[in-house]
Structure 1
């Protein structure tokens, strides 16, 4: 290989103002709703304290290595997923559009959950849900109907949803430095401070120690259960925003001279630290609820997902002193965590379209924002929105993202054979060097384990269906989502490039083995 050049080539691409800005944005994307409402329940059901063993192993053997892969592709090829993969290997462009399609689908329903959080932030000041939090959420608030297609909008969701999409469009139009980075520079510290205050309050509640004992008491026998290991890898995988285009886009806005691997380590461990903090806060609160109801923590229902956030927590808030403040902190934290993640989802789509069609930043922001908003309103803010959201989320995450990750690993190692060049790139720009160990992890270990996860999930969904929903409904909103991802990937790949003329693109630093893949793209 050649030596690193003394100066990086100049380019007109936006960049983060500092490495700190990039790290905050990346952590803001990784720390989302799943950190708060998914990790505590998964850890509890996976052996409590013993779950931390497979969890940390998954972080080191899959989470951080695949995060490095995202960083390497984005930082070296200076583009969102479709163009970055195309620059790496022309035939890989379809994978980039598959990842972009995942971002689009997830963004359309993720925004709705933020709208719920904003509504409940307001409800907290009067405990509007009353004594029946479950009945209020699915009945009075969401007016949930049977599985199907409804055109009846839910006003309590539609109005805050409109505000969410309006804010997203404005932030994207402001750009990476003035919009996205400033959002995270302000939002992430607020999230950490607000949620830390909530945890401190939760630790002082009667019964909090019972909740913590339930969460952290180890059940070592759980480590012999393959499903526990799969759950650990799933949690790491889905919570770190890896393998579906987000971190590729974020890394592409890093300056040419940037310490990528050290930043990745900070992001990975910061994300996991917040998950453990969330577990402490959630289970301290559940311990209080169990104490109030005079039952064991294990006898409580609804300890994960939307049920935890919008049914169980409101029930807790109603029974505690200072309920309005506690509720505002919790739902405010949910909204901020969701918003910093949502902006990363939509940014990936917006930048991909800018590059493909030569759109201005504002035009792309408005186009993507309005399109996402229309889908959000039509499918997920109606009386059947909760069921549609649940179904689409299951298939987009557990099938779409896993397929994307497997394809990414196989392409970079076995088809394009660019993994050594990417490893060299990371080592040349970073203080933490990536050793040869990274290649078998990406090329063998990760795709094999993810393949096991995928096969098991597909088998379960085919043999058992999903949540007892009608077969036709799962076919349309579940498997139909997977089909849509494939169709969008093929369709956008087939469209001729009208945007950036990449005849002059040159990857930096120069690496001898990279010569075949630094040519132009039209």
Structure 2
């Protein structure tokens, strides 16, 4: 008698609503809150909405649909899905996995900072100088050198973030990721909605909104503004680096995936608009309280979250409440994004080695947590983080997305069959319009963005950092992700792992 080993239970989202919540949780992250308002302001204010919507419809949603199509049709993690499309493309999936490893180890540090700042909002620990407090007192940041001097104020909350993340991932797709998203996303919407209401009530809020939404139509003639719109959509939707491929593989065969993509895309953009209203209302108050113009207090990224907003909290009525809502929103948005990034790695390891959920989770997350703490809870953590984030987003995510689109569209010519798969049960049919976008328009736009980024990075060394740091933590990290992807694609899959997508949904034992 021959005993055949049953395939592993990969897990499944229980229904479409849970999947949509998880996908929105992945898409809505830190960049929605602290990047979009600044990008919109720099890109022409109200006029920026036009290139932003074009980018959403021409690049964002089409690429999101491609990720869904690959994962949903091939029923596997990113490496397994690409291997099932063509064994020669498996390296793309592992390349995406390596990128997710890099992102997750530094993303946890930002979450740790946000956790601490929830408490700091009540005590206003930053005093009269939020910038000096953040860099000198809180992070104890060094200049141009890498150390192993740990910062307890960062290490402890980072350890907590990793413990909670590991617990969620060990619970599985539905009980862990799905349940967390179903709870966190509504809470995030309530918390951030309350923040927006409070921010709108502040003196000077109208000035902030006028600064954000006043249209500068001349900006539409600047190519960099359009590139910035496409970049914002691309990065905020979590497309191109394995997350949506992985999530789509956990959805039933007869689920409407095309309609879901439009829901996720517009929900993500709606939250970004809400973030712009809340952030610029608060910046308008800060400008009025400081006797400055709104343009003089506008900040982006870490500067907005950990320097400008603390200054607002210190001067605003009910500032502690405003700060709590803001940093809790960062924690919620960041955590749902972190678990989606971790799932790309865990799912790939599970598929390749046929491991159980808990075993794979521990094998993946414990080493990542140690690396994360070792690099980013030290006095040089923010330097390494800033460099790695800049390079892995531009020369990791952008490049792998371009290679994946070109390979699927032209090397194996699978776009028409993927369109047919998605249209079978989709409420929105993927006709020639989608095929043309994915095969021609979107790859050209991404290539244009990539060229601009390369020219900028080469002509102006990023951030004024030492060359060796840019080489190791910037170019090195981006290049290592590609090399690792190629190396991990060499070992063969186990004989019990079919390299043909199953025709029917697997039986899931709950």
Q: TM-score per shorter chain, which class? A: over 0.9
Residues 77 and 507, structure 1, Cα contact 8 Å, conserved in 2: no
Whole-angstrom CA distance in 2 between matches of 1:300 and 1:348: 38
Q: Which runs of 5+ in 1 are unaligned?
A: 1-9, 510-522
5 Å-filtered alignment, 1:414-493, equals 414-493=410-489
* Shift of residue 283, structure 1, vs aligned partner: 0.0
Whole-angstrom CA distance in 2 between matches of 1:379 and 1:106: 13
5 Å-filtered alignment, 1:77-96, equals 77-96=74-93
* Shift of residue 477, structure 1, vs aligned partner: 0.9
Task: Report the secondary structure of 2:122's partner residue.
Answer: coil
TM-score of the aligned structures, taking structure 2 as reference length: 0.96
Q: Which runs of 5+ in 2 are unaligned?
A: 1-6, 506-510
TM-score of the aligned structures, taking structure 1 as reference length: 0.94
Residues 75 and 502, structure 2, Cα contact 8 Å, conserved in 1: no
Q: Per-residue CA shift, 1:41-93, capped at 9, x if unaligned? A: 00001100000000000000000000000000000000110000000111110
Residues 83 and 499, structure 2, Cα contact 8 Å, conserved in 1: no
Q: Which of 381, 388, 391 pairs up with 1:395?
A: 391
* Shift of residue 476, structure 1, vs aligned partner: 1.0
Instruction: Say whether 1:29 aligns with 2:29.
Output: no
Residue aligning to 1:75: 72
Whole-angstrom CA distance in 1 between matches of 2:8 and 2:177: 20
Q: Which moves more between the two structures, 436-445 or 221-230?
A: 436-445
Residue aligning to 2:261: 264
* Shift of residue 439, structure 1, vs aligned partner: 1.2
Q: Which moves more between the two structures, 370-379 or 128-137?
A: 370-379
* Shift of residue 501, structure 1, vs aligned partner: 1.9
5 Å-filtered alignment, 1:43-442, equals 43-301=40-298, 303-442=299-438
Q: Per-residue CA shift, 1:387-406, capped at 9, x if unaligned? A: 11000000100111111111
Residues 114 and 334, structure 1, Cα contact 8 Å, conserved in 2: yes
* Shift of residue 496, structure 1, vs aligned partner: 2.7
* Shift of residue 503, structure 1, vs aligned partner: 5.9
Residue aligning to 2:3: none
Task: Report the secondary structure of 2:492's partner residue.
Answer: coil
| Compared CA separation, residues 361 and 297, structure 1 to 2 (3 A) | same
Whole-angstrom CA distance in 2 between matches of 1:318 and 1:54: 36
Whole-angstrom CA distance in 2 between matches of 1:498 and 1:379: 35
Q: Per-residue CA shift, 1:119-171, capped at 9, x if unaligned? A: 00011111111111000000000000012221011111110110111111111
Residues 80 and 348, structure 2, Cα contact 8 Å, conserved in 1: yes
Residue aligning to 1:513: none
Residues 355 and 499, structure 1, Cα contact 8 Å, conserved in 2: no
Q: What root-mean-square deviation, in Å, do the aligned CA atoms of Structure 1 and Structure 2 show?
A: 1.3
Q: Which moves more between the two structures, 109-118 or 442-451?
A: 442-451
Q: Per-residue CA shift, 1:302-323, capped at 9, x if unaligned? A: x110000000000000001111
Residues 354 and 499, structure 1, Cα contact 8 Å, conserved in 2: no
Residues 97 and 493, structure 1, Cα contact 8 Å, conserved in 2: yes
* Shift of residue 13, structure 1, vs aligned partner: 3.7
* Shift of residue 495, structure 1, vs aligned partner: 2.3
* Shift of residue 508, structure 1, vs aligned partner: 5.7
* Shift of residue 498, structure 1, vs aligned partner: 3.5
Q: Per-residue CA shift, 1:100-134, capped at 9, x if unaligned? A: 11111100100110000000001111111111100
Whole-angstrom CA distance in 2 between matches of 1:451 and 1:364: 36
